Amino acid sequence: MHIAILTMTFSLPGCGSLKEKRQRMGGMHERFGRNPAVAVCESGEHNRHDASEWSFVVAAASRREVESQCSQIEDKIQRTVEARIIKVTRELL
């Protein structure tokens, strides 16, 4: 079993409230949490309306599968989330 923790930090320029932040970042659980190999949560910047941090725990039988899933998550987020990605870290366990 191979496990990775993918953490992404976002800037939300022009976001004026926590409600707007939820609207812009909403759906992360639904989009990625459906996959039984992925756990997702907002892991930081909870009280800031102009920033957000999300972590994804990915588990698979091989390191290649884990890395592929992390890349797919990053690609999909870049296409679908109305935010600027500030930082991405991957930790393989």
Q: For 13-69, what is each residue's pLDDT tens digit? A: 888 888 888 888 877 777 887 888 999 988 888 888 899 999 999 999 999 999 999
Q: Report whether pLDDT(3) > 90.
A: yes
DSSP-assigned states of every residue in the chain: -EEEEEEEEEE-TT--SHHHHHHHHTTHHHHHTTSTTEEEEEEE-TT-SSEEEEEEEEEESSHHHHHHHHHHHHHHHHHH-SSEEEEEEEEE-
Residue 56 contacts residue 5 (beta carbons within 8 Å): yes
Q: Report whether pLDDT(93) > 80.
A: yes
| pTM of the model as a whole | 0.87
What number of CA atoms fall less than 13 Å from residue 14's CA on the CB side?
4
Beta-carbon contacts of residue 24 (< 8 Å; ≥ 6 apart) = 12, 15, 81, 82, 83
d(CA 19, CA 91): 31
